Chains A and B, each alone.
Chain A
Amino acid sequence: MKEFGLYALDILSSKKVTYGDIRIISTKDQNIVIRNGQAEFNSKRSSLGFGIRVFYDGAWGFAASYDLSKKSIGRIAEKAIGIAKESSRYKKSKVVLSPYDACDTADFVSPYKLNPFDISEEEKLALLIGASLSMKTDPKILYGISNASFREEDKLFMSTHGQEIRQRFVQTGAGITAIAFHEGEVAKRSYPASFGGDFRNAGWEFVKELDLQGKGPVIAGEAVELLTAPGVPHTNTTLVLEGSQLALQIHESCGHPTELDRVLGFERTLAGTSFLTLDKLYDLKYGSDIVNITSDATNTAALGGFAYDDEGIPAQCSFLVKDGLFVGYQTSRETAPVIGQCSNGCMRADGYHNIPLIRMTSINLLPGEHSFESIISEVEDGFYFALNKSWSIDDKRLNFQFGCEIAWEIKKGKLGKIFKNPSYTGITPEFWGSCDAIGSAEHYRIWGIPNCGKGEPSQTARVSHGASFARFRNVEVGVSQW
């Protein structure tokens, strides 16, 4: 692969580009879905290709192909340069890239114990079939679904700055879902998170640690109970969010609005912009004093962790919100100079064929001091919502509405009966301003989200969020009754 990379860089240098890089990426994926003990889906995917990015006359050009041959590399390099030249005709001002100390070479492997691609199909299927069948505890359980996903990705990044960075990622995710049906009502419960479970830079050992089979009967029982549970009433009340739902709240209302490319309007056409405009930096009270949020790519066991981003910038950890004050953005070499900074290393691309964009790393709500018991015991009247079912937020990331799988009422400091169809809504800084308790470090967990969408052409990023649980006062819940 290095030979192809050097060949590309030779072409770019001979054409006198200001800067150029090539990423050659090989990816293997496996996705298994078991429904009621039967393998519904067991598919594999293999991918190999390269993308060339050039910076020429103050403008970017990018081209990519699956055809990894010298002839194709020459053609694609010329194409990328041609695109940059055409782009530069419609630039009002030439882009300036932030400087950085480029490493020469690096070799990184994400942490794992058991490579899932070395585990026999029989072992994988046996665990997942057992987990699926563990939910068939009641005739009202229509489906017991278990799933697992594995990825192995080898990425070679080489640039005209002389960098040669190899990174290898092994990623694993798994979860279970029970779907109950009775008299027209459908209810769903998942573990450990909804929409495929939890994901991590890890191997097969992560699936075994989840104890899917052990948790199956519990969530199946809750799904059946939800069928006849009352709906969450429309009211303003105290709300405690479980970790995986809190992770998505962080994702939508802090992760996306702190992406500096959104703030500068680069994503206006599809994803939207951000309420965190440049004048708000170091000025806006984003949340209450106990709210501290970081962008941390240095935890390499997290799904959003890595050694170098796709511009060759080392992984970093920086504050986005400190003691409730908005203090930082996620940046790139192109955007960081706008705020007088150097890149904090957030550029990543989905596969070889896409251009790097600012993508979340691990955006973490740092832990507080509360145990689960203490956070509940201080609530006279409220709800505890768990696991995401639906998400929606406006194009500036202000007005959000989430649906969850299950709610428990909180009465006089204790968890009470189950409620169905929980939903809540709010305005981002008001909501985070109402946060008055956060779970302690022993409850803190990094949740992996493998499907963060952004960009045109559409890209899917693997990101993560550290969260325990947290309490918010005076939140509007039960937005719509059904």
Chain B
Amino acid sequence: MVKERLNGIAREILSASDADFTRVSISLSETDLTRFANSEIHQNVSQENIGIGIELAYGSKHGFTTLDYPDPELIKSEIKALKALVIAGKDDPEFCAARGENHEYSEKYDEETASLGPKSMADIAGGIIARTNKAGQESFGSLSLRREHELLANSFGSKAFSEATVVELVTIPVKNERTTYNEFFSHRISDYSEEALLAAPLSRMDLYKNFSDLKRGKYTVLLEEIAVSDIIRFFNYMVSSGRMLHEKQSAFYGNMGKEITGKNLTLHDDHTDPRTVGKPYDSELNTKERIVLIENGVAKNVALNEKYSKLLGMKNNGHSVMGGQNTMCGNLRLETGDAPKDEIISGIENGLLITRFHYTNVLDMRKTIFTGMTRDGMYIIKDGKLTGTGNNLRFTINILDAFKNIKALGKELVCIGGVSVPCLKIEDFNFTGETRF
């Protein structure tokens, strides 16, 4: 029913346009979010959103408009206004009108998850609150559920429809302003286990009994999967776009085919990974390929579309976003090692276990200089055991250098917000400041 409705809007747009090339994207989403703080629900919302993107090209002049309201008269007037805008513009010799192919993808749409209502969501939050309170801790967190439907079509007659559900849960138990953390991500609620979510954060609260003032310096760290996913997400932003490579802004520029990290690092973009919610095609309706960005430390490939594959003389791998304007990887997977997390911890004489980073940001894109703070779990490792906690520290690192110092990769792959990663043991991780007050 949703598909037919979106198809109808797409037909209206395509028939109202007299452009040489027309591309349409229509996304319909319903988002429900329940947030809890101080062991009670304090915010509970539901949104229905529609986003309609229309791209018109007359010759090599092109332009883009979006509407968040599917009114037929508004659509016609926006197409007319966009045509005037495009014709007033200049030729873009690099513009590509991609033909694409037909696609349909609903594997990550789970009916049971989609049917969750405010009562079920409140009860899931209530369960987390009750279990956390039973452990003598206050409960903070959030549960979000998205139901996403998307239709893409172009004037060549190519069309694609996809739908997915996404559930994300965050929990922060708190005791005397000391915090721990965990999160859950899946396309189906049946994967969720309250016990699995809460076991580690509730038990780790006891480690705060042994609290130390940590100072800046270089440490051996075990980054848990949530922290690793943050670094990988920013690394992706800094290096993997074909557009950035073309514009000489990526650290891959001048380094393709060269060893840029340690040999134990291999990074894929793989929409077929069952943990992600990736689609098998891109915004140009081209089939998305599984690509290797870094293989055994060597820079191998970047995300490409029609335009940037031509400009760079490389093979298109179907990673277009925003129509044909940009390229991006959306389903990253860092390959695992062979050591269980406990075994890696037991091999660290003096070090830190870090759960999560906060407010990470790029200081120098080209050189992958990156900073951020630790939060909600900064644990001290002594003689192979977690022995206590410490104050939060600020790190400032060159990511490529840090990736040369990976001494172990975890055996287990965990998907955090669509990025699948193992935990990492890194030596000489550079902390440049500490929180104090």
Binding site for B on A (CB under 8 A): 38-39, 41-49, 59-68, 76, 79-80, 82-84, 86-87, 89-93, 121-122, 125, 142-143, 181, 184, 186, 264-266, 268-270, 272, 275, 353-355, 389-396, 398-399, 401, 403, 421, 423, 425, 427, 429, 456-457, 476, 479-480, 482
Please report the C-alpha to C-alpha distance between residue A456 and residue B434 in the assembled complex, in whole angstroms: 28
- B44-A482 in contact (CB<8A): no
Complex interface: chain A residues within 8 A of B47 (CB): 63-65, 353-354, 457
- B33-A46 in contact (CB<8A): no
- B437-A66 in contact (CB<8A): no
Please report the C-alpha to C-alpha distance between residue A298 and residue B362 in the assembled complex, in whole angstroms: 35
- A482-B369 in contact (CB<8A): yes
- Find the residue from B43, B92, B142, B174 having the highest chain A CB count within 10 A: B43
With contacts A86-B119, A142-B248, A479-B396 taken as known, whether A395 is within 8 angstroms of B373 at the C-beta atoms is yes
- Find the residue from B68, B71, B82, B129 having the highest chain A CB count within 10 A: B68
- A43-B64, A264-B38 known; 17 other A-B pairs, CB under 8 Å? A39-B92, A42-B64, A46-B78, A49-B69, A63-B47, A66-B70, A67-B48, A89-B126, A90-B41, A266-B42, A268-B179, A269-B142, A393-B359, A399-B435, A427-B436, A456-B33, A482-B367
Choose among B71, B247, B360, B361 the residue that contacts A142 (Cβ–Cβ < 8 A): B247
- B359-A43 in contact (CB<8A): no
- A44-B366 in contact (CB<8A): no
Choose among B63, B88, B144, B373 the residue that contacts A392 (Cβ–Cβ < 8 A): B373
- B396-A61 in contact (CB<8A): no
- A87-B66 in contact (CB<8A): no
Please report the C-alpha to C-alpha distance between residue A60 and residue B43 in the assembled complex, in whole angstroms: 7
What's the minimum C-beta distance from B427 to chain A, rounded to whole angstroms?
Answer: 18
Complex interface: chain A residues within 8 A of B96 (CB): none
B39 within 8 Å of A (CB atoms): yes
With contacts A46-B69, A61-B44 taken as known, whether A395 is within 8 angstroms of B358 at the C-beta atoms is yes
B289 within 8 Å of A (CB atoms): no
- B359-A392 in contact (CB<8A): yes
Complex interface: chain A residues within 8 A of B375 (CB): 272, 394-395
Choose among A61, A89, A265, A394 the residue that contacts B140 (Cβ–Cβ < 8 A): A265
- B41-A44 in contact (CB<8A): no
A-B residue pair count with CB separations less than 8 angstroms: 238
- Find the residue from B119, B142, B325, B373 having the highest chain A CB count within 10 A: B373
Please report the C-alpha to C-alpha distance between residue A39 and residue B369 in the assembled complex, in whole angstroms: 31
- B81-A44 in contact (CB<8A): yes
B35 within 8 Å of A (CB atoms): yes
B232 within 8 Å of A (CB atoms): no
- A63-B41 in contact (CB<8A): no
- A186-B74 in contact (CB<8A): no
What's the minimum C-beta distance from B194 to chain A, rounded to whole angstroms?
Answer: 15
B350 within 8 Å of A (CB atoms): no
The 6 A-B pairs of least Cβ separation, nearest first, read A47-B68, A480-B396, A48-B69, A86-B122, A394-B373, A65-B48
B264 within 8 Å of A (CB atoms): no
B296 within 8 Å of A (CB atoms): no
B101 within 8 Å of A (CB atoms): no
Binding site for A on B (CB under 8 A): 31, 33-50, 63-71, 74, 78, 81-82, 84-85, 88-90, 92, 118-119, 121-122, 125-126, 129, 140-142, 144, 170, 172, 174, 179, 247-249, 254, 325, 358-367, 369, 371-373, 375-376, 392, 394, 396, 398, 430, 432-437
CB-defined A-B contacts under 8 Å, sample of 29: A38-B92, A42-B63, A45-B65, A46-B67, A46-B68, A65-B48, A66-B69, A86-B122, A90-B41, A93-B40, A186-B366, A265-B38, A266-B37, A268-B140, A269-B141, A272-B358, A353-B47, A354-B47, A355-B45, A390-B362, A391-B359, A392-B373, A393-B373, A394-B359, A395-B359, A399-B434, A457-B31, A479-B432, A482-B364
- B248-A181 in contact (CB<8A): yes
Complex interface: chain B residues within 8 A of A354 (CB): 45, 47
- A83-B118 in contact (CB<8A): yes
With contacts A184-B254, A399-B394 taken as known, whether A42 is within 8 angstroms of B361 at the C-beta atoms is no
- B434-A121 in contact (CB<8A): no
Please report the C-alpha to C-alpha distance between residue A480 and residue B429 in the assembled complex, in whole angstroms: 13
Please report the C-alpha to C-alpha distance between residue A394 and residue B359 in the assembled complex, in whole angstroms: 7
Please report the C-alpha to C-alpha distance between residue A62 and residue B65 in the assembled complex, in whole angstroms: 29
- Residue in chain A with minimal CB distance to B362: A390
- B37-A62 in contact (CB<8A): no
- Residue in chain B with minimal CB distance to A129: B90
- B49-A353 in contact (CB<8A): yes
What's the minimum C-beta distance from A282 to chain B, rounded to whole angstroms?
Answer: 18
- A45-B33 in contact (CB<8A): no
With contacts A66-B49, A121-B84 taken as known, whether A45 is within 8 angstroms of B44 at the C-beta atoms is no
What's the minimum C-beta distance from A310 to chain B, rounded to whole angstroms?
Answer: 14
Complex interface: chain B residues within 8 A of A42 (CB): 63-64, 85, 89
Choose among B35, B46, B66 the residue that contacts A266 (Cβ–Cβ < 8 A): B35
Please report the C-alpha to C-alpha distance between residue A395 and residue B396 in the assembled complex, in whole angstroms: 17
Complex interface: chain A residues within 8 A of B249 (CB): 186
What's the minimum C-beta distance from A456 to chain B, rounded to whole angstroms?
Answer: 6
Complex interface: chain B residues within 8 A of A45 (CB): 65-68
What's the minimum C-beta distance from B305 to chain A, rounded to whole angstroms?
Answer: 15
- Residue in chain B with minimal CB distance to A351: B68
- B141-A90 in contact (CB<8A): no
- Residue in chain A with minimal CB distance to B52: A46
Please report the C-alpha to C-alpha distance between residue A391 and residue B325 in the assembled complex, in whole angstroms: 27
With contacts A393-B359, A401-B371, A482-B369 taken as known, whether A79 is within 8 angstroms of B46 at the C-beta atoms is yes
Complex interface: chain A residues within 8 A of B63 (CB): 42-43
Complex interface: chain A residues within 8 A of B85 (CB): 42, 44, 121
Please report the C-alpha to C-alpha distance between residue A435 and residue B373 in the assembled complex, in whole angstroms: 25
Please report the C-alpha to C-alpha distance between residue A89 and residue B40 in the assembled complex, in whole angstroms: 9
What's the minimum C-beta distance from B358 to chain A, rounded to whole angstroms?
Answer: 5
Complex interface: chain B residues within 8 A of A82 (CB): 118
- A64-B68 in contact (CB<8A): no
Complex interface: chain B residues within 8 A of A86 (CB): 41, 44, 118-119, 121-122
What's the minimum C-beta distance from B374 to chain A, rounded to whole angstroms?
Answer: 9
With contacts A268-B37, A457-B45 taken as known, whether A41 is within 8 angstroms of B325 at the C-beta atoms is yes
Choose among A184, A186, A456, A476 the residue that contacts B35 (Cβ–Cβ < 8 A): A456
Complex interface: chain B residues within 8 A of A275 (CB): 437
- A92-B46 in contact (CB<8A): no
Complex interface: chain B residues within 8 A of A398 (CB): 435-437
- B68-A264 in contact (CB<8A): no
- Find the residue from B69, B74, B254 having the highest chain A CB count within 10 A: B69
With contacts A60-B43, A394-B359 taken as known, whether A125 is within 8 angstroms of B142 at the C-beta atoms is no
- A403-B432 in contact (CB<8A): no
- A394-B49 in contact (CB<8A): no
With contacts A67-B48, A86-B118, A403-B363 taken as known, whether A44 is within 8 angstroms of B40 at the C-beta atoms is no
Please report the C-alpha to C-alpha distance between residue A67 and residue B48 in the assembled complex, in whole angstroms: 8
- B33-A457 in contact (CB<8A): yes
Please report the C-alpha to C-alpha distance between residue A296 and residue B406 in the assembled complex, in whole angstroms: 49
- B435-A396 in contact (CB<8A): yes
Complex interface: chain A residues within 8 A of B366 (CB): 184, 186
- Residue in chain A with minimal CB distance to B366: A186
Complex interface: chain B residues within 8 A of A390 (CB): 361-363, 371
Please report the C-alpha to C-alpha distance between residue A425 and residue B435 in the assembled complex, in whole angstroms: 11
- Residue in chain A with minimal CB distance to B365: A186
Please report the C-alpha to C-alpha distance between residue A355 and residue B372 in the assembled complex, in whole angstroms: 29
- Residue in chain B with minimal CB distance to A37: B90
Complex interface: chain B residues within 8 A of A61 (CB): 44-45
- A66-B398 in contact (CB<8A): no
- B43-A355 in contact (CB<8A): yes
Please report the C-alpha to C-alpha distance between residue A90 and residue B437 in the assembled complex, in whole angstroms: 34
Please report the C-alpha to C-alpha distance between residue A55 and residue B301 in the assembled complex, in whole angstroms: 53
- B369-A480 in contact (CB<8A): yes
Complex interface: chain B residues within 8 A of A392 (CB): 359-361, 371-373, 394
- B41-A91 in contact (CB<8A): yes
Complex interface: chain B residues within 8 A of A456 (CB): 33, 35, 43, 142, 144
- Residue in chain A with minimal CB distance to B50: A66
Please report the C-alpha to C-alpha distance between residue A43 and residue B52 in the assembled complex, in whole angstroms: 13
- Residue in chain B with minimal CB distance to A46: B67
